[in-house]
Chains A and B, each alone.
Chain A
């Protein structure tokens, strides 16, 4: 069977797991292409205006899979138990998609992950595998292979950040949800611009998530969201090794609207640039702001020396 995976939102957190898992079960996986103008336009048409850019892109990616797969995989991922909750959008995605694409031929493949209601991820994925016709042993093996691939990817990202931190020059921690950081239309151009300005961009997701979540309480104690906790943790773990922080937010992200305010109020010794992105053409405005931000850091460093 051909299973489509939209290259958006939690793909950037769990994508490697999903691909390995489905392939181990003997299915073919089809990824939507990298974000392009068509995907953005389609996503904007499908969505109401108020949704965040990342969600609009997600719908564009789902639409790009129409006719290219037997099923499109859209899981409901509500929380990770004690590790925290996800934005409620991730609880709603499968039902949103099934309603939005009701009159098309697109079929949604679901999984329900909700440890708070006693459905831990492992149980949800084993159930899904068995629905797809696998035996319990096959399901177990696919799950473990997926987890191993995922862990390997985490280790790679952490190693990369360690190497980057040893580099000379201005180091900037780029803090954003992974689905913004790596998207062609959101984070990727910003990371490229930072590099072009002779600074070293360091991505916030290159941390051990568990360690990051526990460190996050040193900045703010009662943040309910998993990803926000990890972003705070990354700041806490790296704050003494970096020269500046760039926050990237897709307007009007619910968690970011509050957590970024907290970061700005509680982190005082590192310069912070807060970039709010909406669907827009051209990056000239953002480039100018980045340039002056890096200039200020450079100037500060010179004065300190």
Chain B
């Protein structure tokens, strides 16, 4: 295996394989293979080789790894996190080795490396000749890519449901993604972003002054991966709603939600890998939901509750809670969501996904939910 050059891969997570691939190719100077877009087959393949009742993201990632390795990848990246995610790597490795694959794993969990320096060292092992300055140089472009994707998608969620020409938003979005894959510099990304936003703003829409507004909250992976959540955002938006979602890589990893610069600086200075990825937001969000929660409840649960409270207080018409089946931190948030729902009188649709979830089932529930909240809104307005 040492004879073959390294070829890295990271599982599908929305469209974030674009910045991650860029980081690997331009930063580390290594080959990168994007896993093929997820299909039903990917999930079935992953589920077949995973423990029965492990959470769905494990199975999705398993399917992605297998498909990417069939395409030529030989180093798989795993990131770790504060929940079960922290143990994905070792088990993925064992199962894939038992299947006979020849590969290495870049397993960026704390249990393996201890701290940030250890993790950086672990990454560097794969590109020993690369200078740190060469790696650092691409970081601003990677960050810009992530932020552009998040902002473009945010605009889509809020407006695509009111387009006059069916598919007009989708068309520009697809063009944006394909151009982003070819971007080389921060300037390329910036220009592409502005061009895309300009094209969006020129599209004819008929948005009412007070549209139905829906907030999406929930588990880190399932909420960010449209394939895993059966495109719940698009489904609801297209029924005629403004869909809001705070959770994305920009908000969870890159920028602090603190209001003033000093707090922000303090949060960055305290960046704590042991609480990744919640480190930069968990404390400030916790302050905002004191009446419900006094402590960090683990992983993404505090963000779920804080955003639910924020949307409810802003007069949203409904919330959709998205998670994979068995996700412990998100299950733990549910008693609090019950109380928020009762206090603000806001309906919440709870969706729990596993690898068997049927598209029709999700569609039916989303439709019924949308009908209910839009009727409630009409009743209140008249």
Contacts and interface: CB of A to CB of B under 8 A. Distances in A.
Asked if A and B bind, the verdict is yes
Contacts of B294: 94-95, 98, 110
7 contacts: A95-B297, A99-B292, A112-B295, A221-B111, A222-B90, A258-B88, A276-B53
Given A50-B325, A224-B87, A252-B53, A92 B94 contact: no
Contact of B55 (A78, A89, A112, A254): A254
B107 interface: yes
Contacts of A116: 274
A222 B107 contact: yes
A265 interface: yes
A138 interface: no
Interface stretch (B120-128, B136-144, B196-204, B330-338): B330-338
A257 B336 contact: no
A100 B335 contact: yes
Interface stretch (B78-86, B168-176, B181-189, B231-239): B78-86
Nearest to B53: A252
Interface in A37-87: 48, 50-51, 76, 78, 85, 87
Given A94-B294, A99-B336, A257 B90 contact: no
A222 B111 contact: yes
Contact of B87 (A223, A251, A252): A223
Contacts of B335: 96, 99-100
- The contact size tier of chain A is 35 or more
Contacts of B98: 265
Contacts of B301: 88, 92
Contacts, number: 120
A255 B326 contact: no
Contact of B298 (A92, A102, A261, A266): A92
Contacts of B54: 257-258, 261
A276 B112 CA distance: 30
A88 B53 contact: no
Interface residues of B, number: 46
B336 A222 contact: no
A222 B326 CA distance: 22
B313 interface: no
Contacts of A96: 297, 332, 335-336
A259 interface: yes
A218 to B, nearest CB: 14
A116 B275 CA distance: 9
A95 B336 CA distance: 8
A50 B297 contact: no
B87 A222 contact: yes
Contacts of A132: none
Given A95-B292, A96-B335, A88 B328 contact: yes
B355 to A, nearest CB: 14
A222 B328 contact: no
A-B pairs, 3 with minimum CB distance:
A88-B298, A92-B332, A92-B297
A241 B336 CA distance: 47
B329 A265 contact: no
Interface in B30-52: 51-52
A29 to B, nearest CB: 23
A287 interface: no
Nearest to A110: B294
A88 B84 CA distance: 9
B375 interface: no
B231 to A, nearest CB: 23
A254 B83 contact: yes
